[in-house]
Copies of this chain bind each other. A is one copy, B any other.
Amino acid sequence: MSIIVQKFGGSSLADAKCIERCAQRAVKTFQEGHQVVVVVSAMGDTTDRLANLATQITGKPSKREMDMLLATGEQVSIALMSMALDALGVDAVSMTGRQIGLVTDQVHTKARIRSIDTDRLKNELDSGRIVVVAGFQGVSEQDQITTLGRGGSDTTAVAIAAALGVKSGSGGCEIYTDVDGVYTADPRRVRNARKLDQISYDEMLELASLGASVMNSRAVVFGQKYDVPIHVRSSSKPDEGTIITKETPAMEDIKVVGCALTPDLGRLSLRGIPNKPGIQALIFGHLSDAGVLIDDIMQTEIGDTATISFTVEHQDLAEVKPSVQKALEEIGSGELAIEVGLAKVSAVGLGMRTHTGVAAEMFSALGKAGIHINNITTSEIKISCIVPKEHGDLALQVVHDAFGLDQRDQSSDSSKTINKVRKPL
C-alpha cells in the first residue's frame, strides 16, 4: 500500500470550514486506498498571535520558551483536524512532533531534524487510521520542545515521507498551499507565466533562492536527499500542481525552466583595498554579524588593489553600511561606493549544463529590448543579470519570451517530446 503525506499550511486552515475542506481531501485520498499522513501548520495567523503575546511580555523572549509557545499552534491544528476526520467517518489520531519521535538538534527556533522514529506512525497507519502530525515541531535529545523555523511544516512533511520510505512511484508528499504550483515566472509580474508540471530539485532550489516562496528550501533539499517527489498544489482547486522531483534526461533538454526577478537591489563596492589574503574574510565577517543576505559577490583586481562588490536587498542597505564602514576602518584604506536602483533578472534551467549559448541568447534578448546589463553572474544552472530597476519587469518578460517559457515545449530542438515527459507523475 502506498503512503501519501499531505501537508496543509496555515492559510489552508484559517477556520473550521477550511479544516473540514482539507479533511475531505485527506479522506478522498484515504478512500482511494492509500495510507495517509496529514501534516498541519498552525491555523491562519495563530503563530503571529502567539509571538505577539510574547512581545507583550518581553522584548527578548528565550528561544526555548518561544518554541514551547509556538509549538501549541500546530497542536491545536492536529486535534481539530483529527476531529474533522473523525466526523467524516474515518478513524484518525493526532500526534505531536515528539509523539512521532521527530528528534532534532538543540538549536531552538531553527532546529534541524536528526531522526524520526516511525514505529508508532506505522502502527497507527497499519491500524487503518489517518495519522495527523503537528508540523514545524520536534523534541531534542534533552527532551526539550524545539521548532524547525520558517517553513518547518514543509520540512516535517518531506522528512516523514522520507522516513516512511516514500519514493517516486510508491506514494508521495503533497504540499497544499495557496498557489497552484510552481510557475515559469511570478504570474503577478509575467502575464503569460505558465504552471510547470514538473521541476527538478536543483532548479526549484535556484528559484527559491531567487525569492520564489512556493516551497521551503530545506524541505526541497530533504526531498532531493531521500528522493521524495514533492507535489506542490492548491488547497482550494482540484487541479494537479507541480511535482518537484529528481532530474530526468529529458529535463536536460530544457535550457531554461523558469525565470525570476529580484526587483530592488543596492550594490556596495569597496574600492582600492589591499589585495591580500584574509581581507575577504575580514569584510564578510563583519557583514555576517549584520545578519543580512549578501548576494552576487564579485572581485576585480587593479594592480595591488582590488574592488569587492556585492548586492543586497535595498531595504537592507542601512543595516549593511555600518558593517562595511567598520571593515574599511580596520583595513585602513579603501572607499565605499553605493549604487541603488538595481534589479536582477535570472534564468534557471538544468539544460544550461549541456546546451551552449544560453547566456548569449539571454544577453541578446535584453540588448534588443534596450536594457542595459550592469553586471552578470552565473552558476551551473543559473544566469543572472543586474539591470536598472526601472527595467526589471520588462527584463523578466523579455527573458521569459526569449526562452518561450509560455510554451510547454520550449526546448531549442522542437522535435523532442517534452510534453510526454513533463506529465504529472
Q: Which A residues form the contact surface with B (CB < 8 A)?
A: 15-16, 19-20, 50, 53-54, 56-58, 60-62, 64-66, 68-69, 71-72, 75-76, 78-80, 82-84, 86-87, 93-94, 96, 99, 143, 145
Contact = CB atoms under 8 A, between A and B. Distances in A.
Which 9 pairs across A and B sit closest by C-beta, in order of nearness? A69-B79, A16-B56, A72-B72, A68-B79, A58-B87, A65-B79, A57-B83, A65-B82, A61-B83
Given A50-B76, A66-B79, A79-B66, A57 B71 contact: no
B57 A80 contact: yes
B68 A78 contact: yes
Q: Which of A71, A80, A86 is packed against the most chain B CB atoms within 10 Å?
A: A80
Nearest to A43: B53
Main SS at interface, chain A? helix
A362 B87 CA distance: 56
B76 A57 contact: no
B84 A57 contact: yes
A53 B20 CA distance: 12
Nearest to A19: B57
Contacts of A15: 56
Given A94-B68, A99-B143, A143-B99, A76 B53 contact: yes
Given A57-B19, A57-B20, A76-B53, A82 B62 contact: yes
Nearest to A69: B79
Contact of A80 (B53, B86, B87): B53
A83 B57 CA distance: 7
B53 A65 contact: no
A80 to B, nearest CB: 5
Contacts of A86: 58, 61-62, 65
B76 A72 contact: yes
A83 B54 CA distance: 8
Nearest to A61: B83
A60 B89 CA distance: 12
A143 B139 CA distance: 14
A272 to B, nearest CB: 48
A108 B58 CA distance: 35
Contacts of A16: 53, 56-57
B72 A75 contact: yes
Nearest to A62: B86
A83 B70 CA distance: 13
Nearest to A144: B99
28 contacts: A16-B56, A16-B57, A19-B57, A53-B80, A57-B80, A57-B83, A57-B84, A58-B86, A58-B87, A61-B83, A62-B82, A62-B83, A64-B93, A64-B94, A65-B79, A65-B83, A65-B86, A65-B94, A66-B79, A68-B75, A68-B79, A68-B96, A69-B75, A69-B80, A71-B75, A72-B76, A72-B79, A75-B75
A301 B406 CA distance: 94
Contacts of A78: 68
A308 to B, nearest CB: 41
Nearest to A82: B65
A422 B344 CA distance: 80
A373 B423 CA distance: 87
A270 to B, nearest CB: 41
Q: Which of A58, A61, A145 is packed against the most chain B CB atoms within 10 Å?
A: A58
Contacts of A53: 16, 76, 80
Contacts of A71: 75
A315 to B, nearest CB: 29
A95 B362 CA distance: 58
Nearest to A52: B16
A318 to B, nearest CB: 29
A323 to B, nearest CB: 29
Contacts of A99: 143
